Amino acid sequence: MTAAALAMSVAVAAPLTLSTAGEAGAAADHPIVFARYTAAAPIEDLYAISPSGGTPVKLTNTSTVSDVMPSWSPDGKRVAFVRYGSGGAIDGIWTMKTPGGGLKAVPGTKGASDPAWSPDGKRIAYAKPVGTQREIYVADIDGTPATRLTHTAADDLHPSWSPDGKYLAFNRADAAGHSRVMRIQLSTLTQTAVTAAGSHDWTPDWSHSNHIAFSRVDPTGFAHLYVVRPDGTGLHRITNARLNDKNPSWSPDGRRLVFTRGGTDDADPEHLFLVRADGTGLTQLTKTDSHDLEADWRP
């Protein structure tokens, strides 16, 4: 399928009608974008929903390729995401206008994952295969020049920008199956561990209030949300259900998180939930029989 044909397949939906009901604050009218699939429709598409609830708006409608891992631009005018198909002809990071249309491929990102838009809107960070592992890259939004930041035998995944754009948090997974949150300074490429070795820490997200949320699998086998300062201090757990909580994303005011909560296997639905940073105010946002994943709250 050509890029032009793919662009035509993007559903140009009406803008979200955002309610001012619910929790007050700067996050109330900033929509959340996420990927969804169901047993009946196993190809992922992107949706957006108000944090106040309501019916999600479908942003893409592609029957032969999957759209996943969305990331808002800082001005909320575009979304970066990963698009791939079973034949491999469509594979890499794309951007589109919101709420649909204006589809563009980011050159040089074949096989890439986990796009993250920089705070100034000029660059994009992502993970990309190098041999048998993934490394972190940063490029201008047009794909050039692409700069490789990490060089390890481990898998480096899911970059997230600091508010000042000087650092990235990411998770590093080793051959033993452990993963920890790391921090890298872009000017020097100095890397510092944020969480302890031997942990199972995934998908960090750096807030505008300078805290990092992430998902940790504990010894019981369930994943819970945690928050830590960038220097590794102040670690505390937010959620504690006998379910899997993953892919946290901060509200623009740094007071709440949206995340995916699901069961123990792929047959169980996965829904989006909201929670305050202190663990209170848990609210279920999506409720259909679907898998709702990789949410990103608009800055």
* Domains of the chain, first to last: 3-297 (2.120.10.30)
CA pair distance 80, 96, nearest whole angstrom: 7
Nearest to 246 by CA among 219, 264, 267, 230: 264
One-letter identity of residue 155: D
Q: What is the pLDDT of residue 86?
A: 75
CA pair distance 275, 269, nearest whole angstrom: 19
**Arithmetic mean of pLDDT, 53-58:** 94
Whether the CB-CB separation of 115 and 125 falls below 8 Å is answered with yes
**Arithmetic mean of pLDDT, 154-169:** 97
The token duo for 110 is: 């074949």
Q: What is the pLDDT of residue 135?
A: 98
CA pair distance 4, 267, nearest whole angstrom: 35
pLDDT band per the 50, 70, 90 thresholds, residue 28: low
pLDDT band per the 50, 70, 90 thresholds, residue 188: very high
Q: What is the pLDDT of residue 296?
A: 98
The torsion angles phi and psi of 106, rounded to 5 degrees, stand at -95, 110
Candidate from 15-24, 91-100, 120-129, 152-161 with smallest mean pLDDT:
15-24
Nearest to 203 by CA among 233, 236, 225: 225
Burial of 278 (0-12, 13-18, 19+ CB in 10 A): exposed
CA pair distance 200, 259, nearest whole angstrom: 17
Whether the CB-CB separation of 281 and 256 falls below 8 Å is answered with yes
pLDDT band per the 50, 70, 90 thresholds, residue 22: very low
Give the angle subtended at the CA of 242 by the CAs of 238 and 247, to the nearest 5°.
50
**Arithmetic mean of pLDDT, 188-210:** 96
The token duo for 240 is: 């504690």
CA pair distance 106, 292, nearest whole angstrom: 25
Q: Which residue has the tokens 């992502």?
A: 126
Percentage of residues in the chain with pLDDT exceeding 90? 78
Instruction: Decide: helix, strand or coil at residue 6.
Output: helix
User: Is the confidence at residue 23, as pLDDT, over 80?
Assistant: no
**Arithmetic mean of pLDDT, 39-44:** 89
Query: In the predicted model, what is the mean pLDDT of the chain?
Result: 89
**Arithmetic mean of pLDDT, 21-46:** 77
> pTM of this prediction?
0.90
The phi-psi region of residue 165 (left if phi > 0; otherwise alpha if psi is between -120 and 50; otherwise beta) is: left
Q: What is the pLDDT of residue 167?
A: 98
- In angstroms, how far is CA 221 from the centroid of its own chain? 22
Residues 6+ apart with CB under 8 A from 51: 22, 23, 27, 28, 30, 31, 32, 251, 256, 258, 274, 285, 297
| Order of strands across the sheet that contains 78-85 | 65-72, 78-85, 91-97, 104-105
Candidate from 8-17, 115-124, 172-181, 222-231 with smallest mean pLDDT:
8-17
